[in-house]
Amino acid sequence: MRNTLKLIATALIASLSLVANAQPDGRIVRSKRQWIKERRPELMEMLRSQMFGREPGKAPDLHATILEESADAFGGLATRRQIKLSFDKEEKYYLTLLMYIPNDRKGPVPAFLGANFKGNHATTTDPAVLMPTEDKLATYAPGYQVEPRNTNGHRWEYEYILKHGYAVATFCYNDVDPDFHDGFHNGVHQLMDGDKPRDGESWATISAWAWGLSRCLDYLETVKEVNAKKVAVIGHSRLGKTSLWAGATDQRFALVISNDSGCSGAAIARRKFGETLEVINRNFPHWFCDNYKSYNGREEKMPWDQHELIAMIAPRPVYVASASEDDWADPVGEYFSLVGAASVYKLFGYEGITDRKVPEIEHPVVVGRMGHHIRRGEHNVRLYDWQQFVSFADRFLK
Ligand code: GCU
């Protein structure tokens, strides 16, 4: 946070021209209609062709098989359901969705949906959660080690979420596309593209994870205990970049949360603070489409910036969370993308976060349909974060 405060001045300068309803040629989008009909499609085209790549449509044969179900999860608090969600008839491509649904419910409940890093079993102490399957593990990065149960349990406050009346669903991101540069041979690119040659606009791995989130939403639309019109998509870090892109491309998501999403997520690229495009594209060449690499070291030449990704979520509620020690993700830049997107929320008649003073640590701010906080501490997801997400979601999804 010390750094954060020091950077306010820089942030002000860097963000002065970043207003999402202004086009690069200086024209201002003045109406909701103009945003929806002209500018949003134009930006969508830009983000697809220059950053995430062009995602395909639905899966050829999406179908669900319940692998396990029990109403006694967490001492009877919830029903646990584990689902094999297959994308093709042969069931070669699938993810395993872990769902908890609160037992104390009157009708269909709202839900949180997010991918996880280390497998469903690593999100909880619940001993009934299935371990990753051998056929899936064979596609993961060479040398991949299965983590013990509950390794990332602190990131998934299931009991807290369930007690507040939400269902929660998660899957391991590697199931959709393994997180290493495998030339797009493992994972859903193969299924959806076959042998089609790749080009600069071909979809990459973040786009594939976002596609997976949308397929889970297709499934949630068939689950009677869940209100699929009230699903919040959430993600941490690289999966926070993913939740923002899922929220932009799939307007069925009712609310979007990014946690510590940083570079190429919520953080304004032009600030070049913490991780830069050159670094992210070098270390993770499979995350974005090839055209994105042409902006390495040329952030100021980008015909968009990340506040416009946030604006694509408008008018749906959006929450951006940061952590005070997470300089790599640039908390100031993450905050300023909200400020930059507020003008678009305004076009829809909603207030947004416009204060150019970065909020203090652990002083959550909610204005209109935007929410923000900086948690004290490291790059992670903690109970404090979930408390803010749930209270934000309560305003819109209850
Ligand atoms: C790396 C990467 C970040 C990413 C993070 C994560 O630190 O540089 O861009 O957000 O991993 O996903 O944990």
Convert the pLDDT of each residue in 194-246 to its tens digit: 989 999 999 999 999 999 999 999 999 999 999 999 999 999 999 999 999 99
Confidence at 22, pLDDT banded by 50, 70, 90: confident
Structure confidence at residue 16 (pLDDT): 47
pLDDT of the residue at 17 = 60
Tally of CA atoms within 13 A in the half-sphere of 241 that contains its CB: 24
Q: Which of 118, 209, 236, 275 to mutate to test the pocket of ligand 1 (most atoms within 8 A of CB)?
A: 275
Token digits for 154?
């602190």
Strands (DSSP E) contained in 133-196 are 167-172
* CB neighbours of residue 140 within 10 Å: 21
Please write the tens of the pLDDT for every residue from 86-100: 999 999 999 999 999
Q: Are 191 and 175 in contact (CB under 8 A)?
A: no
Residue nearest to atom 7 of ligand 1 (CA): 328
Compute the distance from residue 278 Cα to the ligand 1 centre, in Å. 14
Instruction: Tell me the pLDDT tens digit for each residue of 321-339.
Output: 999 999 999 999 999 999 9
CA distances from 248 to 8, 40, 134, 214, 306 (A): 28, 10, 34, 11, 12
pLDDT, tens digit, 9 for 90 and up, residues 293-319:
999 999 999 999 999 999 999 999 999
Q: Is 75 left (phi over 0), alpha (psi -120 to 50) or beta?
A: left
Query: How many whole angstroms separate alpha carbon 147 and alpha carbon 228?
Result: 31
Give residue 23's pLDDT band: very low, low, confident or very high (50, 70, 90).
confident
* pLDDT, averaged across the chain: 95
pTM: 0.96
Q: Is 238 in the pocket of ligand 1 (CB under 6 A)?
A: yes
Q: Which fold does the domain 4-397 belong to in CATH?
A: Rossmann fold (3.40.50)
Instruction: Give the chain's end-to-end CA distance (angstroms, integer).
Output: 33
Range 19-27 contact pairs with CB under 8 angstroms and sequence separation of 24 or more:
19/307, 19/340, 19/343, 20/307, 20/308, 20/310, 20/311, 20/340, 20/341, 20/342, 20/343, 20/344, 21/311, 21/343, 21/344, 21/346, 21/347, 22/343, 24/303, 24/304
pLDDT over 80 at 8, yes or no: no
262 Cβ closer than 6 Å to some ligand 1 atom: yes
275 pocket-lining for ligand 1 (C-beta < 6 Å): yes
Cβ(205) – ligand 1 distance below 6 Å: no
- Say if residues 364 and 372 touch (Cβ distance below 8 Å): yes
Domain extents for the chain?
4-397
Residues 136-146 have a mean pLDDT of: 96
Q: Which residues are catalytic?
A: 237, 379
Ligand 1 centroid – CA 238 distance (Å)? 5
Which position has the token pair 């509950």?
150
